[in-house]
Every structure is written in C-alpha cells, then in structure tokens.
Amino acid sequence: MSTAEETAGQDAQPWAEVTPDAARRLLVAAVEAFAERGYHATTTRDIAGRAGMSPAALYIHYKTKEELLHRISRIGHEKALEILRTAARREGSATERLADAVSSFVRWHARGRTTARVVQYELDSLGPDARAEIVALRRLVDAEVRAVIEEGVAAGEFDVPDVRGTTLAVLSLCIDVARWFNVEGPRTPEEVGALYADLVLRMVGARTDTTRGQGAAQR
C-alpha cells in the first residue's frame, strides 16, 4: 500500500483536497519524510527529492517546510474530527456511540499510521499561530468524546468520577495506536478498533453487557 493510499484512510481519492497534483505529491513526500526522519531532521531537499522535483519547485507551492507540516496537520485533524463527530452524534445510546467513536478513531490511526504519527506527534514543531489553530481543532476533538461520556454519566450508563481526565485517557489510548501498529502484525485495524472499544467501555464502567459481548464477538 502506498503512503498516499495508506494516509488517506478510506478516501476514494487520497488527499483530493490538495491541488494541483504537484502540491499533492509534495505533501505525500513530506508525510513520508517527517514520519521517517522527524520534522527537524527533514530538509526541503529531502521532500522535493522524494516527490521527484527540484527544491525550487517546492517553493512554488509551499513557502516553507512549516507550511507543509501545518497543512498536513490541519487536514489530518479535520479528518479525525469528522470521524469522531459522525460517530459521536449518530443515533443510539451513549454506550453505543462511544464504542463506535473509539473504534472508528482507532481504525483511522491504524490504517493511516504514517500520517497519524506526523499529525499527532509533531505539534510542537509548528510556530505559534499554526500551533494555536491545531490546538483549537484538538479541543474540538476532545469536546466530542467528553460530551458522549458526560451524556453516558447523566443517563446512568457510565460511572466516571473524572470526565475530563477520562477523556484524556481515552484519546491518548486511541492516538498511541499510530505509534505501534504494524500492518504485518497479528491484528487488523478492525480488530484493534473492536478491542479498544471494549477496553474503553470497561474504563468508563459501561453498564451494558450486550455491547461488551458484541465487541468480543468481533475479535
């Protein structure tokens, strides 16, 4: 699977929002380089070379290396937010929606692990303005998960003394999948998603045994 295919999850046209094609190729090359070498160790020459272009060609589309990281991070966070929001706001109980949100979020981090590593772990490489924009998107991600947990507590489905702390723990658990997931490992993204959904329901003290059984059956 190519990085373009992997990092876009299930999109029919990976990174379709990035145009023209040269800009898209540079962005995919930057994802590869940042994930492999780290942002600070990567040069614009590295990125251009991976894209089959000259360093001068890169500056036609991106003024700086940071602009590339900012765009990758913004698109990645927007996709992650969309995935969580869709799952968290669908019909169903808080238990069902939290399980769906966690499973979907984990699958995204497993399937798009290369992009996810850059999106989730290079935040501090951004300048103040770009970082502030991404932090705002992260807060929206946090809010989606926190709202479902709060609804579950209010409905008597969850037993969570510290909603804010539990939300942080849930998101950290999901995000870390990008760090360790191996496509050649023993579990598929779907299996890991089901496992983590079950683990999170146990974390929040979900009172519905049926949902836990469904998660176990998927494994």
Q: How confident is the model at residue 13 (pLDDT cuts 50, 70, 90)?
A: low
Contacts of 163 by beta carbon, 8 Å cutoff, 6+ apart: 146, 149, 150, 153
Nearest-angstrom CA–CA distance, 70 and 68: 5
The pLDDT of residue 218: 43
pLDDT beyond 50 at 126:
yes
> Predicted confidence band at 16 (pLDDT cuts at 50, 70, 90)?
confident
CA pair distance 28, 34, nearest whole angstrom: 10
Asked if pLDDT for residue 211 goes beyond 70, the answer is no
Q: Which residue has the higher pLDDT, 193 or 184?
A: 193
Is pLDDT at 88 greater than 80 in this prediction? yes
pLDDT at 51 (0 to 100): 94
pLDDT in tens, 133-147: 999 999 999 999 999
DSSP conformation class of 108: H
Q: Determine the pLDDT at residue 53.
A: 94
Cα–Cα distance for residue pair 136/60, rounded to 1 Å? 29
Q: How far apart are the first and last CA of the chain?
A: 24
Q: In this predicted structure, what is the pLDDT of residue 11? A: 45
Query: What is the CB-side half-sphere exposure of residue 34 using CA atoms within 13 A?
Result: 30
For residues 181 and 189, is the Cβ–Cβ distance under 8 A?
A: yes
Q: 149 and 204 in contact (C-beta within 8 Å)?
A: yes
Quote the pTM value.
0.84
Tokens 């800009």, located at residue = 23
pLDDT digits (tens, 9 = 90+) for 25-78: 999 999 999 999 999 999 999 999 999 999 999 999 999 999 999 999 999 999
Q: What pLDDT is stored for residue 149 in this prediction? A: 97
Q: Average model confidence (pLDDT) for the chain? A: 89
DSSP for 124-178, please give it. GGS-HHHHHHHHHHHHHHHHHHHHHHHHHHHTTS---S-HHHHHHHHHHHHHTHH
**75-79-81-86 Cα dihedral, nearest 10 degrees:** 150
- Residue 18's contacts (CB-CB under 8 Å, 6 or more residues apart) are 24, 27, 71, 75
Residue 198: which pLDDT band, with cuts at 50, 70 and 90? very high
Q: How many CB atoms lie within 10 A of CB 103?
A: 24
Residue 151 is encoded by which pair of tokens?
A: 């609804």
Residue 161 pLDDT greater than 70, yes or no:
yes
Looking at residue 163, its pLDDT comes to 97
Largest CA distance in the chain: 60
